[in-house]
Amino acid sequence: MRILIAIPVYNEARYVDGVLDEVRRYADDILVIDDGSTDDTPVLVSRQPVEVIRHASNRGYGRTMVDAIRWSMCYKYDWLVTMDCDRQHEPASLPVFYEAIERGDADVISGSRYMQSTADEDSPPPDRQTINAAMTNLVNERLGLGITDAFCGFKAYRVDAVNKLTLSEPGYAFPMQFWVQAAAHRLRVEEVPVRLIYNDPNRSFGGPLDDADHRITHYKEVFATELAKFPDRFGEAACACMAEKPGSGEQADEATQQERLAAGN
């Protein structure tokens, strides 16, 4: 069983050495996708015994995920595990994913920060908690998934299963595209609990996405657009989402394009 750990980074000089040192305790094959960092992150990563993809400029979280999936396919890994580098995902949780992989009954193993909670966990910023809950409910209602955390980036993917998907969303709305395609291709989804940690509650999403209303509108637009690509699978759900989609015609298309341009890290 060959497992690749992929870690997107963007200006993570504060954390990258410590995170990579810890991940190496649990994994041999590690890929870092540097999404155009402008601090010391590239220098620090170059000193680590890891593979590196470096973007010349910031292209967005979704693009780093697409690159990780392509790399895992190209080098014939069986599983891909993705995690963040800002200390919100604990490398010590990797064995939890390995155990779920060994059970062999899922195509996607998704971390959930809301399956269980303890007194020492952080409280998420209110807007993030509200948006996550709203979008998780929408995903479950339209796709019938029954997940508890739509946005956790700590995930394991069976590589030959995600090979069926055509993922292209470059920014933070990437999970909305992913969940639609995972459901359309009937991938088996399992959730595992991970700790809820917020080291930087004021972290920017970039441009208009820092506004919660803009952000949830963008997520809904990407979700509705993706549903519409599978009318045979999600006919009624797609029609309902498109009817609720804000704006119309050229004005909506222009607004969505502006959100996509701002949807990088």
Going from the first residue of the chain to its last (265 residues), give the mean pLDDT of each consecutive group of 10, the final group possibly shorter: 97 97 98 98 98 97 98 98 93 97 97 75 76 96 96 97 97 97 98 84 74 93 95 72 53 43 42
Residue 254 lies in a domain: no
pLDDT recorded at residue 264: 42
Provide the number of structural domains found in the chain. Answer: 1
Residue 248 lies in a domain: no
**Distance (Å, whole) CA 111 – CA 148:** 9
Residue 159 lies in a domain: yes
pLDDT recorded at residue 256: 44
pLDDT recorded at residue 258: 44
Residue 216 lies in a domain: no
37-62 per-residue burial string, b: 16 or more CB within 10 A, e: under 16: beeebbebbeebebeebebeebbbbb
pLDDT recorded at residue 172: 95
pLDDT recorded at residue 102: 97
Q: Which domain holds residue 99?
A: 3-207
CATH number of the domain at 68, please. 3.90.550.10
pLDDT recorded at residue 197: 82
Q: Is 45 helix (H, G, I), strand (E, B) or coil?
A: helix
Residue 95 lies in a domain: yes
pLDDT recorded at residue 201: 63
* Strand pairing class (189-193; 30-34): unpaired
pLDDT recorded at residue 70: 98
